[in-house]
Amino acid sequence: MDHIKHIFFDLDHTLWDFKKNSSLTFKFLLEKYNIPVNLEIFLEIYMPINFSLWKLYRDEKISKEYLRHNRLKSAFEKLNMDISADIIDKMADDYVTHLPDHNFLVKDTLLVLDYLVNNYELHIITNGFTEVQKKKITNSNLDKYFSCIIDSETVGVKKPNSKVFEYALKAAGATQKESLMIGDNLEADIIGALNAGFSAIHFNNNNEPTHSHCKIITNLKSLNSIL
C-alpha cells in the first residue's frame, strides 16, 4: 500500500471501546435512577434495539431525538418495566452526557496509532453525534493523533453516503487514490468507502460474515505489518 498517504479511521468499535464504555455508563444510570434490572439482562435487550434504530437513523429514516428516546423506551417495554417518559428523557440526556466519562480503547489502539502517525496523515470519520464524539476523542487523548475529525452530524448525512467521504477528502486535502478507510462496519465504513473510491481494511471485530470486498483483520495490531 505504498500509494496510501491518508488513513481515515472509524471511531466507535474501531478505536474507542463503545461496548465497554456504554456498559459502564448504563451501570451508573440504572443505579442513579433506581431502576431494578440486572445490567447484563438490560444490555442483552437494549443492544439489538439500539443497533436496529441506529441503522434507521443512519438511513435518514428517524431523527436523533427519536433514536435517543425510543431505544430506551423499547428496551424497558420489552422488559415489562413501566418507566415514565420523563425519566426516559432524563436518562437519554444523561447517557450522552456521561458516555465520554469512560474512555477504554480497543486493544492495541495506542500502539497502532503511535506507529502509523509517523508515516501517514491520520483522520477520523464517525457517524456519532458531534458533541459526544468530540468529548470521546479529547477525553481519551486521541485528538493528538488526528489531523481532521469528520462527524456525520456536521456533514449532514451519514456513512455510507458518499458525501461524507467526499467531505472528508476535501477537509484532509487528500485524493481517493491515496486514501484508506479502516472501520468495523461493513456497510457504513467499508462499502461506503469503496464506493467513494477509497481503499479499505475491514476491522471485523463484530463477527460479521467474511467477504471479498477488501482485506479483513480481526485485531488492530495487524495493521503494523500491513502498513
3-state DSSP assignment of residue 197? coil
* φ, ψ (nearest 5 deg) of residue 128: -75, 175
Of 2, 10, 108, 114, the catalytic one is: 10
| Mean pLDDT score, 41-55 | 96
- If one compares 11 and 60, the residue with the highest pLDDT of the two is 11
What single-letter DSSP state applies at residue 147? S
Give the pLDDT band of residue 113 (cuts 50, 70, 90): very high
Give the pLDDT band of residue 110 (cuts 50, 70, 90): very high
Per-residue pLDDT at 86 exceeds 90: yes
Task: Show the domains of the chain with their CATH numbers.
Answer: 6-17+105-226 (3.40.50.1000), 18-101 (1.10.150.240)
Look up 10 and say whether it is catalytic. yes
Residue 176 one-letter amino acid:
Q
Per-residue pLDDT at 20 exceeds 90: yes
Per-residue pLDDT at 49 exceeds 90: yes
Question: What percentage of the chain has pLDDT greater than the value 90?
Answer: 93
pLDDT of residue 1: 83
| Mean pLDDT score, 190-194 | 97
| Mean pLDDT score, 102-128 | 97
Per-residue pLDDT at 208 exceeds 90: no
Residues sharing a CB contact under 8 Å with residue 227, sequence separation 6 or more, in sequence order: 1, 4, 7, 116, 119, 120
pLDDT of residue 206: 84
DSSP secondary structure, 151-167, as one string: EHHHHTS-TTSHHHHHH
| Mean pLDDT score, 74-92 | 97
Q: Which three cell numbers stand for residue 26?
A: 448504563
223 and 116 in contact (C-beta within 8 Å)? yes
Rounded distance between C-alpha atoms, residue 224 and residue 227, angstroms = 6
- If one compares 135 and 206, the residue with the highest pLDDT of the two is 135
